[in-house]
């Protein structure tokens, strides 16, 4: 007997909109004390008491922001939450709630949406954010995800992009560039698969890069770490478009220049190997590859001693007077202008 591969496909139209919402959202628990009312009314109700609320939103479109041929739906759901949680972390705030709206064409069976929501649920548990609302509707083409994240913070802790001063140190968490190269590996495998669908990919040498692309993490830990180190960042942003692009945002909004040192940029050893294999310049990837969801921030120079021993934090440069401009100091100590090239721009060149 032939295997019925479609045995677990439930049509969305069988459920109806309200049935679908109930089915998908019934596992969302309320854990935040600030969530007074969650899903099920015209709006959710939040109580921030003396804290301030922080709000961020993102719209993700199939074929533009993700490719389902190598991005499993569960990972996509997880990553969509992470990207928004990361924006709240980049305010030096604590993420507390999210809303999730989904539009799908009728080619998606219920089981596909369940997988997506499994990833959303997993991330919301790990980051301790309540899913408090959303909207589920049909699209004419593909999958569309819109997430709004809400967080809380004391006013004095909230860190903007515009607070950097000349002589502040520029600090990055973790390492950069890996998520972009993970995407390159996956795209190469997709092309190999299209030529020979029986080919089994061997991805053992690329596990870190692929994980950074498919299952990135937001640096919710950094706010706590900086508090423990007694360091107050002066400006902060997360790395979604690429390191150089984010540095330029901080510089422009703060009215300062900067010197970034090529040799200081933290990269994973696996990234070095794979850049060699692909014959790509590693600094280009580190500067322009996006989706790392690391945090980039500035601190006062006198705080250097407090952070220098921490393996999570790397000083990669310092801010200067605005008139000095924004520069990359290469390994050969040449000073070249720093250009804003996000990973989208990079893709257009490829």
Annotated binding residues for ATP: 134-135, 161, 240
Total interface residues for a copy of itself by CB under 8 A: 61
Compose the 267-306 pattern: x for residues touching a copy of itself by CB under 8 A, - for all others.
Answer: ----------------------------------------
Interacting positions 50-69 with a copy of itself (CB under 8 A):
52-59, 61-65
Q: Which stretch binds a copy of itself (CB under 8 A): 93-101, 192-200, 309-317, 322-330?
A: 93-101
Residue 297's H or E segment, with its range, is: strand 295-299
User: How far is Cα 309 from Cα 250, in angstroms, rounded to an integer?
Assistant: 25
Q: Is 251 in the site for a copy of itself (CB under 8 A)?
A: no
Q: Which stretch binds a copy of itself (CB under 8 A): 21-29, 100-108, 110-118, 204-212?
A: 100-108
Q: Is 99 in the site for a copy of itself (CB under 8 A)?
A: yes
Q: Which residues of 291-321 are buried (b: 16+ CB within 10 A; e: fewer)?
A: bbbbbbbbbeeebeeebeeeebbbbbbbbbe
Q: Which residues are annotated as a binding site?
A: 42, 56-58, 65, 87, 134-135, 161, 238, 240-241, 291, 343
How far apart are CB 238 and a copy of itself at their closest, in Å?
A: 6
Compose the 109-148 pattern: x for residues touching a copy of itself by CB under 8 A, - for all others.
Answer: -----------------------xxxx-xxxxxx-x-x-x
Neighbour tally for 215: CB within 10 Å: 18
Q: Is 36 in the site for a copy of itself (CB under 8 A)?
A: yes
How far apart are CB 215 and a copy of itself at their closest, in Å?
A: 21
Which of 136, 139, 137 has the alpha carbon at shortest distance from 25?
Answer: 136
- For a copy of itself, give the closer residue by CB, 11 or 138: 138
Q: Residue 130: CA atoms inside 13 Å, Cβ hemisphere, count?
A: 19
User: How far is Cα 129 from Cα 197, in angstroms, rounded to an integer?
Assistant: 40
The answer to whether 97 and 132 are in contact (CB under 8 A) is yes
| 6 Cβ contact partners less than 8 Å away, ≥ 6 residues apart | none
How far apart are CB 135 and a copy of itself at their closest, in Å?
A: 5
Q: Which of 175, 189, 217, 238 lies at the binding interface for a copy of itself (CB under 8 A)?
A: 238
Neighbour tally for 276: CB within 10 Å: 10
Which of 164, 95, 157, 169 has the alpha carbon at shortest distance from 132?
Answer: 95
User: How far is Cα 245 from Cα 259, in angstroms, rounded to an integer?
Assistant: 14
Residue 101's H or E segment, with its range, is: strand 94-104
Name the residues that contact a copy of itself, by CB under 8 A.
17, 36-37, 40-48, 52-59, 61-65, 87-88, 90-91, 93, 97, 99, 101-103, 132-135, 137-142, 144, 146, 148-151, 155, 158, 160-162, 236-238, 253, 344
């Amino acid at each position: 007997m032939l295997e019925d591969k479609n045995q677990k496909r439930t049509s969305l139209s069988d459920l109806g909109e309200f049935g679908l919402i109930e089915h998908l959202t019934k596992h969302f628990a309320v854990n935040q004390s600030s969530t007074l009312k969650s899903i099920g009314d015209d709006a959710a109700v939040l109580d921030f008491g003396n804290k301030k609320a922080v709000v961020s939103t993102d719209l993700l479109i199939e074929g533009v922001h993700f490719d389902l041929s190598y991005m499993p739906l569960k990972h996509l759901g997880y990553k969509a939450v992470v990207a928004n949680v990361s924006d709240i972390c980049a305010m030096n705030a604590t993420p507390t709630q999210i809303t999730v709206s989904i539009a799908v064409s009728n080619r998606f069976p219920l089981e596909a949406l369940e997988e997506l929501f499994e990833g959303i649920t997993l991330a919301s548990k790990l980051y301790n954010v309540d899913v408090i609302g959303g909207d589920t509707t049909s699209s004419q083409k593909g999958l569309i995800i819109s997430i709004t994240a809400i967080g809380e913070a004391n006013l004095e802790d909230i860190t903007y992009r515009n607070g950097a001063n000349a002589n502040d140190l520029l600090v990055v968490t973790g390492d950069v560039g890996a998520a972009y190269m993970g995407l390159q590996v996956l795209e190469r495998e997709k092309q190999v698969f299209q030529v020979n669908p029986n080919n089994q990919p061997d991805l053992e040498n690329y596990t870190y890069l692929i994980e950074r692309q498919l299952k990135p993490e937001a640096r919710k830990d950094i706010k706590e770490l900086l508090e423990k180190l007694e360091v107050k960042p002066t400006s902060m942003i997360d790395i979604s478009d690429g390191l150089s692009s984010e540095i330029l945002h901080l510089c422009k909004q703060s009215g300062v220049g900067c010197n970034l040192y090529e040799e200081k940029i933290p990269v994973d050893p696996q990234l070095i190997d794979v850049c060699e294999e692909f014959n790509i310049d590693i600094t280009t990837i580190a500067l322009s590859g996006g989706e790392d969801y690391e945090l980039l921030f500035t601190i006062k120079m006198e705080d250097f001693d407090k952070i220098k021993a921490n393996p999570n934090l790397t000083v990669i440069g310092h801010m200067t007077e605005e008139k000095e401009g924004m520069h990359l100091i290469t390994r050969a100590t040449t000073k070249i202008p720093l250009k804003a090239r996000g990973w989208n721009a990079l893709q257009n060149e490829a």
